Chains A and B, each alone.
Chain A
């Protein structure tokens, strides 16, 4: 106890150098914990994107690519699935429900997805949470649209507003389906998944805006023609009656003769996709680990550099009866206190930063960063950094110990 207060007072005496050292540690710890938090949150939100779906089916390509366009609305499908094939698979006895997906259009940068009412019925995300309407209703009329939470919020759309879809997925499109405006009839509650960034319309509506009219730019009466059965869809999600049938159905789809199809288990594909990005994530973590190491190295440098001038201090303490071990402890306490204060300041800094950049991260990347209390994992990391502080503090402490033994209480300066 006596030694600890001495250590703290000694640090206070050198507060400007100590503060700089503390700042270096705080910044490095904030970086490390920040990276760690983004990593966990990203993994979490990633794994939560889709749940309750047993198979994702699309045209044959890579499983990651299929997952990217069907679930994450990133990239495009290489090919479509014919309606006949879809119906045949959907009507198999093992299948409980299907959600057809038709992509290819956009609205001011947001993807438009054609689907059916089954989407609102069966789609699950996170811990099997269903989609919930924040306001309005599901689509019922041909030109009804249901917006994801972010689309509505960013574009400031309200119920009853009319919007125009564009052909293609770009932010700016020169071909707009201006003749067939949609009416916003519903807005979904936020999910933290790509659903938030999607404009949902019926499959029939997709068919209607593409069937005719738009090329000439002249509204056609035929657009309201009764047969709006889609000719093709982009992909579909499958829910099975029994999980045990999943491989049988997957094999059936993959061996389908009429056209080359691919069925993937979303959990497996998600894992594959995450692993593909995992290298970058590991590298980032390693780099921030090294930054912490640099911070701690800076601390030893400062402590070692100050030691020579403090030989006298050590000699006085020895004359007062301090054991060499206590001199050692004094230095270790200084390093440890610096590390502890640095880690705490780092955590404070992290929360401050999180608080500041949270809205930006959420808007830009759809990643929800919680302001929750530090997790056990983060506390472990923080504790480890403090422990490292104590351990690296042993180096200057050892030097001081050697001085204390060699100098005794004879002070030669």
Chain B
């Protein structure tokens, strides 16, 4: 494993139940720092499982998962939760936000769980709330919406808020799981541009997971899950 790699997976095998069949088996996957990687996979190809492993929510039965030099396969549950809070920002397909918090509160939420991200946000904008406002402004969010409850936003707006939340406190890795599937084509491209721009600005590695090959050209590199996963659904 080299320091150049943010993510390094070797000889990984994962099954949901100890006696069940393996769902994911990857011999080798390495992603370099600052890379923008498109991970292509149809639903059921083990995408979600891979993301869970990278986020440290689950651990493989066999093999090693190194992320930012942390051996996630060997860490305890609390350490993995801590790792995720500090180093990984997530954007999901939809329903990313807590409906009972305002837009601004949703964006600041990761800083409640991670001191490191709180500190970084503070360093960057002299305050967590100011950093949240800065990110939201960069992502073209109207100021008038910041105090609104998250439930009142359109889907496109919700995804931009989710992106700001994934980016706050400059986590080293941003993982986006089909974040644009609910958006139309124009908005999809605009959203991606904003996301990539922000990731580049704060030096985050972007993993973009989707089934849609049309988006491939926008990324540095494509990893087809079907090619690296020895288990085929």
List residues of chain A with CB under 8 Å of any chain B CB.
Answer: 2, 6, 9-10, 12-14, 312-313, 316-324, 326, 408-411, 413
Q: Given A409-B57, A411-B92, decide whether A321 and B100 contact each other with a Cβ distance below 8 A.
A: no
Question: CA–CA, A324 to B98, complex, Å?
Answer: 17
B149 proximity list for chain A (CB < 8 A):
13
Q: Judge if B85 is at the interface, Cβ distance under 8 Å.
A: yes
Q: Tell me the B75-134 residues at the A interface (CB within 8 Å).
A: 77-78, 81-82, 84-86, 88, 90, 92, 95-101, 105, 109-110, 112-114
Count: A-B pairs, CB below 8 Å: 71
> A321: which of B58, B82, B105 is its contact (CB, 8 Å)?
B82
Q: Given A2-B112, A12-B100, A321-B84, decide whether A411 and B57 contact each other with a Cβ distance below 8 A.
A: no
> B57: which of A312, A313, A408 is its contact (CB, 8 Å)?
A408
> B110: which of A313, A318, A320, A411 is its contact (CB, 8 Å)?
A320
Cβ–Cβ contact B84 & A319, under 8 A: yes
> A408: which of B58, B95, B100, B165 is its contact (CB, 8 Å)?
B58
Minimum Cβ distance to chain B for residue A9 (Å): 5
Interface majority SS (helix, strand, loop, mixed), chain A: helix
Mask for B21-58, Cβ within 8 A of A = 1, else 0? 00000000000000000000000000010011001011
Minimum Cβ distance to chain B for residue A412 (Å): 8
Cβ–Cβ contact A318 & B57, under 8 A: yes
List residues of chain B with CB under 8 Å of any chain A CB.
Answer: 48, 51-52, 55, 57-58, 77-78, 81-82, 84-86, 88, 90, 92, 95-101, 105, 109-110, 112-114, 149, 165
Name 6 A/B residue pairs within 8 A (Cβ), A-sorted: A316-B98, A318-B81, A321-B84, A323-B77, A408-B52, A409-B57
B78 proximity list for chain A (CB < 8 A):
323
Cβ–Cβ contact A2 & B99, under 8 A: no
B109 proximity list for chain A (CB < 8 A):
320
Minimum Cβ distance to chain B for residue A217 (Å): 83
Minimum Cβ distance to chain B for residue A116 (Å): 75
Minimum Cβ distance to chain B for residue A3 (Å): 8
Report which residue of A2, A12, A410 has the largest number of chain B beta carbons within 10 angstroms of its beta carbon. A410
Question: CA–CA, A388 to B200, complex, Å?
Answer: 52
Question: CA–CA, A411 to B97, complex, Å?
Answer: 13
Q: Given A320-B113, A411-B95, decide whether A13 and B100 contact each other with a Cβ distance below 8 A.
A: yes
Minimum Cβ distance to chain A for residue B76 (Å): 11
Closest 8 CB pairs of A and B: A321-B85, A13-B100, A408-B57, A2-B112, A321-B113, A323-B81, A319-B90, A321-B84
Cβ–Cβ contact A409 & B100, under 8 A: no
A2 proximity list for chain B (CB < 8 A):
112-113
Q: Given A13-B99, A409-B57, decide whether A322 and B113 contact each other with a Cβ distance below 8 A.
A: yes
Question: CA–CA, A344 to B33, complex, Å?
Answer: 55
> A413: which of B81, B86, B95, B165 is its contact (CB, 8 Å)?
B95
Minimum Cβ distance to chain B for residue A160 (Å): 72
Apart from the given pairs A9-B100, A413-B95, 5 other A-B contacts in the complex at a CB distance below 8 Å: A320-B90, A321-B81, A408-B52, A409-B90, A410-B57
Question: CA–CA, A408 to B58, complex, Å?
Answer: 8
Question: CA–CA, A10 to B109, complex, Å?
Answer: 14
Cβ–Cβ contact B81 & A410, under 8 A: no
For A10, the closest partner residue in chain B by CB is B100
A324 proximity list for chain B (CB < 8 A):
77, 81
Minimum Cβ distance to chain A for residue B175 (Å): 9
A323 proximity list for chain B (CB < 8 A):
77-78, 81
